[in-house]
Amino acid sequence: MAPRRPLFEHALHPTLPPPPDDPVVVTGLGMTTPQGGDAPSSWTALLAGESGAVALPWAQALPVRIGAPLRADPVAALDRVEARRWDRCQQIAVIAAREAWADAGAPDVPAERFGVVIGTGLGGGGTLVAQHERLKELGPDRVSPFAVTMLMPNGPAAAVSLALGARAGAHAPTSACASGAEAIALGLSMLRAGRADIVVAGGAEACLGELSLSTFARMGALSRRNDTPTRASRPFDAARDGFVMAEGAAALVLEKASHARSRGARPYATLAGAGLSADAHDMTAPAPDGQVRALQEALRTARLNPHDVTHVNAHAPGTRVGDRVEASAILAAVGPHPLLTATKSATGHCIGGAGAVEAAFTALTIHHGVIPPTLNLTDPDPEVKLEIVADAARRAHVTAALSNSFGFGGHNVVLAFTKP
């Protein structure tokens, strides 16, 4: 008889490098979301089951008339020059990064050892639309001289680098709805490669407008529950009909544990690993095997067995196909035991900021031992064979958790967090 294969073969593979002696930890968090203008208010509202979805007064002529805008006006947190020269996406990236930096204790680090990675999906799309309208109405001489730097996708990363004085690198992954998570994975790589001593990583998106709503609606991705916006985002529910488009940004301060100890910083969680894969399957439809590979790679790089995982913050946008594919991938790669939540049920889908917002929520889940609820799960999809935390937040001892992000184009990113 052939010898029995181990439950998780990768964990015993002899070619794997040994676990890092100096793991990467999360020492600062910053957010601005439809739930609140900072991380504490966003977390409190999330645990209370507050939805950020509202009827949009300016969208009443559109087929989809709901969305989840920011709770706090970013302009109020910036000086006049910053507000004028930065696109809204850049503004919220800087607001989240500054909060995270202050939360981490504003570390004293040489600029050449300080890196930034901020992802976005649509970037300065709002600026592009507004400036094109200005060109048509007023002529080329009235286009903003700041338009190029406001609309470029690397603008949020550049703005954060400038605002905080980071010179080890300012990277800007653009991988649709996985952008924020990919930025955090790249930040982990920078630290493990010795390119920086500290990294601010995250994602931002603020492109909630007539064109973006119309285009996502045209492809059938958005919920059309216009009369009940707070009930529209329904991940894993049998009656789900698409996501609610949202704005939001989050940033995490990452550093080696030894660096954090040397300055007396307290970590929220350890960023233990990350898994990335590409589907090469379809521009919008997910491929289950691609998600499975990303989940397995996150476990492998985090030195986790599937049974170690207590919790998964699911990507779960509330689309008919997407939620089922993800659930089957989790079942195949991890098993039926983790407690799931889908925080997009409350925040809506922050597109390029979603992965960072959900990573921050996952770190807070580990830190506080509380899993946020999944809203609007009144009739669970019978094809989803997993336990989902619904109705109310649940106390749990979470020792290891995964945060999933999957983007159009077949971009798959899974982040693995553990208790520090």
pLDDT band (50, 70, 90) for residue 16: very low
- What is the count of structural domains for the chain? 1
Residue 279: C-alpha distances to residues 7, 352, 358, 412 (Å) = 25, 18, 22, 8
pLDDT at 209: 96
H or E element at residue 404:
strand 400-407
Backbone angles phi, psi at 198, to 5 degrees: -155, 145
Domain membership of residue 377 (yes or no) is yes
Supply the DSSP symbol for 122.
S
- Residue 130 belongs to a domain: yes
What pLDDT is recorded for position 20? 73
Looking at the domain assignment, is residue 203 inside a domain? Answer: yes
In a domain, 200, yes or no: yes
| Range from 4-18, 49-63, 248-262, 387-401 carrying the lowest mean pLDDT | 4-18
Residue 149 lies in a domain: yes
pLDDT digits (tens, 9 = 90+) for 23-72: 999 999 999 999 999 999 999 999 999 999 999 999 999 999 999 999 99
**Residue 14 within a domain:** no
Domain of residue 150: give its range: 24-418
Side by side, which strands form the sheet with 400-407? 169-171, 114-119, 198-205, 248-256, 24-32, 269-278, 411-418, 400-407, 311-313, 339-341, 387-388
User: Collapsing DSSP states into helix, strand and coil, what is residue 221?
Assistant: coil
Whether the predicted pLDDT of 96 surpasses 70 = yes
Is 10 among the domain residues? no
Q: How many CB atoms lie within 10 A of CB 45?
A: 20
| Structure confidence at residue 288 (pLDDT) | 86
Give the Cα separation of 194 and 416 in Å (integer): 20
pLDDT band of residue 12 (cuts 50, 70, 90) is very low
pLDDT at 129: 95
Does the pLDDT of residue 223 top 90, yes or no?
yes
| SS3 labels along 4-37 | CCCCCHHHHCCCCCCCCCCCEEEEEEEEECCCCC
pLDDT per residue over 137-190, tens digit each?
999 999 999 999 999 999 999 999 999 999 999 999 999 999 999 999 999 999
Average pLDDT rounded to a whole number, residues 376-398? 97
Percent of the chain with pLDDT over 90: 94
110: domain CATH number?
A: 3.40.47.10
Q: Is 7 among the domain residues?
A: no
pLDDT of residue 2: 41
What's the mean pLDDT when you consider all of the chain?
Answer: 95
* Token pair in block for residue 330: 């989790």
Catalytic residues: 177, 315, 349
Q: How confident is the model at residue 18 (pLDDT cuts 50, 70, 90)?
A: low
Q: List pLDDT tens digits, range 290-319.
A: 999 999 999 999 999 999 999 999 999 999
Q: What is the mean pLDDT of residues 104-131?
A: 97
Query: What is this structure's pTM?
Result: 0.95
- pLDDT over 70, % of the chain: 95
Q: By the 8 A CB rule, do 24 and 176 touch?
A: no
pLDDT at position 7 over 60: no
